[in-house]
């Protein structure tokens, strides 16, 4: 299942992408101003190179001073420049609003996609088992083949846990339209057949439920989630595989481990194993997720000022972008999540900096957040309630 540490990471990724988009749009707006003062060679009066350069310089300075406003607040004495800068600001803000909506939507979509990947991995287990039967039938049908084919090769297909998943109506309904490429399954099954745990499984005369389960756990843990060929495939096809891998591994393994004999006892009536959800309460987690993103965006400037005031002889523009985003997120969380203790928030973002930023980020982030949180508490801007009042003991 997802935890909020992963949600914080995904929010940081979305904010990082947004920051890159903002920087790109900033430069595009400057290019627009530059192009607006290209000399018109068809004009009766062609401005000198000095005049063009002066207008471009003035336009650039005006844009830099006003781009974070919705309108041009400080104007020049040249109407032509003011019009160009006003239009550049309008274009910039329109694009930024689109980017904010897009990144927020993508952030949610990618996170909810983890559950789709979990279901697809369950489908992979069944697809491999299904191919084992097809492979058995194909090889047995070779009339002149001298290869000895044992019925034990159907153990995988007949595995009690596989059969339970195949008959799991809710799961099958969720998997409608979800399929693995036949060539991929064929290639991976060839690799699986050479695994020692698979060969050992085929030596069993009639596997017990416990032996079926042990095989499925090993298949999931050591083959699906650990084989280099499969891992490379997932990594190449999903840029978030490496960070989602541990969540998917836990969801998949727990599903297999939770299947008991009582789930498939025909006399007592089958009881479908419970499928894992994205989180225990996705609506609450989603609200936390979206608000963390939105509050960080809305309060970016004021939080940047709080950070800058605590940098000793250091320009905030020289701070690593990931560190700046982590600090802004932490400040927003401390101020807007009354049920989360301050120390918990600080520890979470220090951990984020440790794993995803520069080598010295952990100490830097910890030091800044300690001083900022103390200031905000003293100013009454951090107010906690319920569990948020508990110290992180």
Residue 101 and residue 169 in one domain: no
pLDDT tier at 268 (50, 70, 90 boundaries)? very low
In a domain, 285, yes or no: no
Q: Which domain covers residue 38, as residue numbers?
A: 4-106
In a domain, 284, yes or no: no
Residue 226 and residue 303 in one domain: no
Instruction: Say what angle helices 282-298 and 300-308 make with each other, to 10 degrees.
Output: 70
pLDDT above 70: percentage of residues in the chain: 94
In a domain, 226, yes or no: yes
Instruction: Say what angle helices 282-298 and 4-36 make with each other, to 10 degrees.
Output: 30
* 327-340 pLDDT per residue, tens: 999 999 999 999 99
- Sole residue written with tokens 């039938």: 137
Residue 259 and residue 333 in one domain: no
Residue 222 and residue 307 in one domain: no
Please say if the pLDDT value at position 269 is more than 80.
no
Residue 130 and residue 203 in one domain: yes
Residue where one domain finishes, among candidates 203, 237, 264: 264
Q: What is the rounded end-to-end Cα distance, in angstroms, of the chain?
A: 25
| Contact indicator for 334, 295 with CB cutoff of 8 Å | no
In a domain, 142, yes or no: yes
Tokens of residue 184, six digits? 């991929």
Please say if the pLDDT value at position 39 is more than 80.
no
How many other CB atoms are found less than 10 A from the CB of residue 376? 17
Domain count, the chain: 3
Residue 381: what pLDDT? 93
Q: What does pTM read for this prediction?
A: 0.83
In a domain, 279, yes or no: no
Going from the C-alpha of 117 to that of each of 5, 171, 276, the distances in angstroms are: 19, 13, 12
pLDDT above 90: percentage of residues in the chain: 73
Residue 250 and residue 374 in one domain: no
Residue 139: what pLDDT? 83
Residue where one domain finishes, among candidates 213, 237, 264: 264
In a domain, 87, yes or no: yes
In a domain, 79, yes or no: yes
Residue 149 and residue 245 in one domain: yes
| Contact indicator for 274, 165 with CB cutoff of 8 Å | no
Residue where one domain finishes, among candidates 49, 73, 106: 106
Residue 90 and residue 147 in one domain: no
Residue 53 and residue 183 in one domain: no
Please say if the pLDDT value at position 363 is more than 60.
yes
């Amino acid at each position: 299942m997802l935890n909020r540490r992963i949600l914080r990471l995904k929010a940081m990724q979305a904010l990082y992408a947004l920051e890159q988009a903002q920087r790109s749009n900033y430069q595009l707006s400057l290019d627009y101003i530059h192009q607006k003062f290209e000399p018109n060679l068809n004009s009766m009066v062609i401005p000198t190179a000095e005049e063009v350069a002066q207008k471009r310089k003035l336009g650039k300075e005006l844009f830099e001073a006003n781009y974070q406003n919705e309108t041009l607040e400080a104007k020049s004495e040249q109407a032509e420049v003011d019009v160009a800068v006003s239009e550049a600001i309008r274009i910039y803000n329109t694009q930024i609003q689109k980017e904010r909506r897009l990144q927020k939507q993508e952030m949610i979509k990618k996170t909810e996609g983890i559950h789709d990947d979990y279901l697809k991995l369950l489908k992979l287990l069944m697809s491999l088992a299904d191919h084992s039967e097809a492979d058995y039938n194909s090889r047995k049908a070779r009339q002149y083949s001298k290869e000895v084919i044992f019925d034990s090769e159907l153990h995988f297909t007949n595995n009690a846990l596989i059969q339970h998943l195949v008959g799991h109506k809710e799961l099958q309904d969720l998997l409608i339209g979800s399929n693995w490429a036949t060539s991929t399954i064929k290639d991976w099954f060839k690799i699986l057949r050479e695994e020692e745990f698979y060969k050992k499984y085929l030596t069993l005369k009639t596997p017990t439920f416990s032996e079926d389960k042990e095989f499925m756990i090993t298949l999931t843990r050591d083959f699906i989630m650990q084989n280099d060929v499969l891992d490379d495939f997932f990594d190449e096809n999903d840029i978030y595989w490496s960070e989602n891998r541990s969540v998917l591994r836990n969801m998949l393994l727990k599903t297999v481990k939770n299947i008991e004999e009582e789930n498939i006892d025909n006399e007592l009536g089958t009881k479908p194993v419970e499928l894992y959800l994205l989180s225990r309460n996705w609506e609450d987690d989603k609200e936390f997720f979206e608000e963390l993103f939105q509050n960080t965006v809305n309060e970016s400037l004021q939080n940047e000022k709080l950070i800058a005031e605590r940098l000793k002889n250091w320009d905030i523009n020289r701070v690593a972008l990931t560190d700046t985003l982590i600090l802004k997120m932490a400040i927003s969380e401390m101020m807007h999540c009354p049920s989360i203790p301050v120390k918990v928030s600080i520890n979470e973002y220090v951990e984020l900096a440790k794993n995803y930023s520069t080598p010295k980020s952990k100490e830097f982030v910890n030091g800044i957040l300690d001083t900022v949180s103390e200031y905000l508490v003293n100013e009454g801007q951090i107010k906690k309630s319920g569990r948020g009042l508990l110290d992180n003991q």
